[in-house]
Amino acid sequence: MKNMFTRTLLSGIAVTALSLSLTGTSNATDGMFSNGYGTAAKGMSGAGAAMSLDTQAAINNPAAMYALGDRFDFGVSYFSPRRKAIVEGDAGFFAHAQSAGTHKSASESFYIPSTGVNLDMGSYSLGVTLTANGGMNTDYQDCIFSGCTKQKTGIDLAQAMLGFTYARKVADNLTFGITPTIAGQRFKASGLQGFASVSSDANNLTDRGYSYSYGFGGTVGLMANMTDKLDVGLTYKSRTYMTEFEKYKGLFAEGGDMDIPASFTLGTAYKATDDLTVALDYKHIFYSDVRSISNTNNIGATTGPAQLGTKTGLGFGWENMSVVKLGAQYDVDEALTVRAGGSWNSMAMDDKENMFNILAPAVPQYHLSGGATYKLGGGHEIGAAVTRAFSNTTDNDNNINHNGNNIELQMDQWNVDVGYTYSF
């Protein structure tokens, strides 16, 4: 019976994987990553690396999968980012009649599924988890850069990751987990014809439709029970090495390379009372290791634009990011659990890097979240979470970079998650 149910769950995951591969995702608030993974963690602004919450623990901390038991999770996230770019000036790469002025990205609604299953095998557990991230998505319905020919500017990056988790206790108070991951991503760009003169391959720069790449990485985690009240979690997610976007090897550095950066997270969970747990996580993301993300696009800092597509080609100018997440979980009764949290992240880039980040204005820094789960009985459970990423602006008002054009970027976000769990 258990084997039959497992096969059914895995078939459902395969179907969801297919739907994810066809769905544009844009759920980023920590740069190109989501503020949290799983409905429960999102209710605490992503905190929970030292807690066993749901099967998205494969992302948060694989060691947490061991304590979950036999369960299946499915969730859908509604993500609504509002992005705006204001350009003052019409020189250089902005020499187009429509460049100067305010530009708003049209696409503001995205639906992002996630799912996972975990099986208690006695001395160890096995899990399969599907998740997604992205965030580098804009859809301006006009031309921003010079040379634009189709009255549209923007990019679309979608990523899906399938992880296979093994977790077990290695000591009375220590649990270990590992999640090898395979990943797929797709990308397209529009309206970047004006950069042809600084591209190493202008035929593979823009308006080439979707290009796909695939790769692998992994996550390892530890959870330690320090005292009766304090748990500590440590997670390291490796760089995910991806094949190149062949249709955009004249855009991204190193011939179309766009790997997914590594990160590590240190989390604590303190049981203040029998019903109240407080979680605090620190996360660090290594954006500087991926040249297509970290290379500068600040023209004022170069003797001349480095050719796009080469090792030193223009990038988004992102730096490593630090994130602090604080959350709380309170058991109201045996059926209802409520959560709340907030987070802060350092800026991925400074205002001197605003030019390319018109395409991916990942500027929010502060988030507040709330959520709840309710046990329906018979192993069934429903949950929900709401996250608000508050508006933030970067303004390149010194007017000396990017051919003298002033560029202002703005973004705020709403994220609503609903989830279902069946424990069997």
Q: What is the pLDDT of residues 119-136, one digit of tens each?
A: 999 999 999 999 987 556
322 contacts: CB under 8 Å, gap ≥ 6: 282, 283, 284, 285, 345, 346
Has residue 406 got a pLDDT over 60? yes
Which residue would you say has higher pLDDT here, 20 or 341? 341
CA gyration radius, the chain: 22
pLDDT at residue 126 in the model: 97
Q: Give residue 168's Cα distance to chain centre.
A: 27
| Percent of the residues in the chain that have a pLDDT greater than 90, as a whole number | 79
Nearest to 207 by CA among 237, 240, 146, 248: 248
Name residue 346's amino acid. S
Looking up tokens 């609903």 gives 418
Has residue 374 got a pLDDT over 60? yes
Q: Any idea what the Cα angle at residue 101 is, between residues 99 and 105, rounded to 5°?
A: 85
Has residue 2 got a pLDDT over 60? no
Average pLDDT over residues 200-222: 97
| Domain containing residue 45 | 2-423
User: How many domains is the chain built from?
Assistant: 1
pLDDT at residue 21 in the model: 46
Has residue 392 got a pLDDT over 70? yes
pLDDT at residue 22 in the model: 44
Which residue would you say has higher pLDDT here, 274 or 21? 274
Has residue 403 got a pLDDT over 60? yes
206 contacts: CB under 8 Å, gap ≥ 6: 189, 190, 191, 192, 193, 195, 248, 251
Let me know if 225 is exposed, middle or buried by CB neighbors in 10 A (0-12, 13-18, 19+): middle
Domain of 86: which CATH number?
A: 2.40.160.60
CA distances to 27, 159, 188, 266, 294 from 138, rounded to whole Å, are 12, 15, 11, 32, 19
- Per-residue model confidence as pLDDT tens digits over 70-88: 999 999 999 999 999 999 9
